[in-house]
Structures are given as C-alpha cells and as structure tokens.
Amino acid sequence: MTRLSVNINKIATLRNARGGNMPDVIQSAIDIEAFGAQGITVHPRPDERHIRYNDVRALSKVVKTEFNVEGNPNPKFIDLVLETKPTQVTLVPDAVDAITSNAGWDTKKHQDYLKDIIQIFQNENIRTSIFVDPIPEMIKYAKNSNTDRVELYTEAYAKNFKNNKEKAIKNYVQASLLANELNIDLNAGHDLNLDNISYFAQNIPNLKEVSIGHALICEALYQGMKNVIQSYLKKLK
C-alpha cells in the first residue's frame, strides 16, 4: 500500500494569517496521525511564511509516524534537518520567492552538489529523496547522486488528468519503470487530490509514498479532516 503523508503547511498558513496559535499546528499533526495518516510533511521556507523552523523542532518531538521535511538545502535548512533528524528529507530546488514548488532538480547539472548534500544526511541515517520531473535523464542522474528515493513532481499529471488521463500519466509510468530498474524508490506529490489519486497510484509501480497538502486541506473544509484522510487511504489501497 502506498503511504499517505499529509503536508500541513496550509494549516500553518491559516494560523499565521491571524497570529496566535489557532489552528494549533502541533495538535493538528497529532490528530492527523490519529485519523490514519502514515506520515507528516512540512516544507519550511526561509521567510517562514507558513511552517516555521520552531514548528519543525516541536513536530520532531511528537510525530510518531514518518516525518518528512522538504526544502532547498541552504545552510540553515541543513542545520535544521541535522538537528531534528526526520525520517526523510526531500530536496526541492524552490527559489526563495516561489509561491510553491514549481520544478524538479536538474540532477545532471547539480549532480555533484546533490551527492554531497545527500551524503551529509545519509551519514545521520536520514532517508533522502530528490524532487524531480518525470524525465528519464533526471532519474538516471538522480541515481548517480546516491539518493534513496525520488519524488515525482505531479503538477503536469494533475493539470492534464481530466482532459486525457492516459496521456497525462504516460511520462510518469516511464519514469517509474526506469526508477524501479535502477533500484530507486518512488514518492510523488503536488496537486494530487481525491479525483486523480487512485488512477495515479494504480499505474505507478512501487509507489512508496504520496505527499498531499493543499488539495487535502481544501477537501477537508467540506468533508472534515478525518473523513478526507480515510478517503485517501481507501483510494491508495
């Protein structure tokens, strides 16, 4: 079964909009785990506009499932990961002013850099994942970085799913087959939702984990957090 990791950035965004501690990000993570999620994902950015670095520190003490910390590995981010020692670190090449992640790594151009960063985390027994587009060349060079996993950037799939789902998933199937051949485990995330998650999970072999935040939180506004998490778990079976 593909594991569901819930990205709680949007809960932090709502909290930060008014100040104070409502909703409580830490309690939300505890509740999300109790509702059945198999992981918690956060993506702290340098301006701390949603998840704050201190949130990551607090979460590292209470998350009992898999804890996944995403981000661009600048020195401050590296120090935070080494301090909190999550289950997994996902390297994302987002610019400081990016609204959200909008591209995968050029693993050929940045191969040496990624290899050095990954070694730092693996020395501390932290599983590593690289955020990549579904391009065979990027998968091949990701292998050379010694990463444990790659996370397929699924915005293109989600954007084109309703028009032609077979075409939308084609590149992802090819990328996943290559990753399996190279013995790299697979994660996926970005714009996956209750409408498109089943088809994706059914067609991507050896999909270990999906990280879902924005859509899941939006769906929870109408259906409730517990109901939505249970719906995702059923679709991922």
Per-residue pLDDT reduced to its tens digit, 160-175 = 999 999 999 999 999 9
Q: Which residues of 160-187 are buried (b: 16+ CB within 10 A; e: fewer)?
A: ebeeeeeebbebbeebbebbeeeebbbb
Q: How far apart are CA 21 and CA 28, in angstroms?
A: 11
* Active site members: 43, 70, 190
Work out the percent of the chain whose per-residue pLDDT is above 90.
95
Beta strands 3-7; 39-42: pairing state: parallel
Question: What does the pLDDT read at residue 94?
Answer: 78
The total of other beta-carbon atoms located within 10 Å of residue 32's CB is 25
Segments forming the whole domain that contains residue 36: 3-236
Half-sphere exposure of 224 (CA within 13 A, CB side): 4
Across 191-219, average pLDDT: 97
The total of other beta-carbon atoms located within 10 Å of residue 191's CB is 18
Nearest to 50 by CA among 102, 12, 106: 12
Q: How many residues does the chain have?
A: 237
Which residue is it, tokens 């293109």?
156
What global pTM score does this model have? 0.95
Number of domains in the chain: 1
pLDDT above 90 for 97: no
Domain CATH code at residue 186: 3.20.20.70
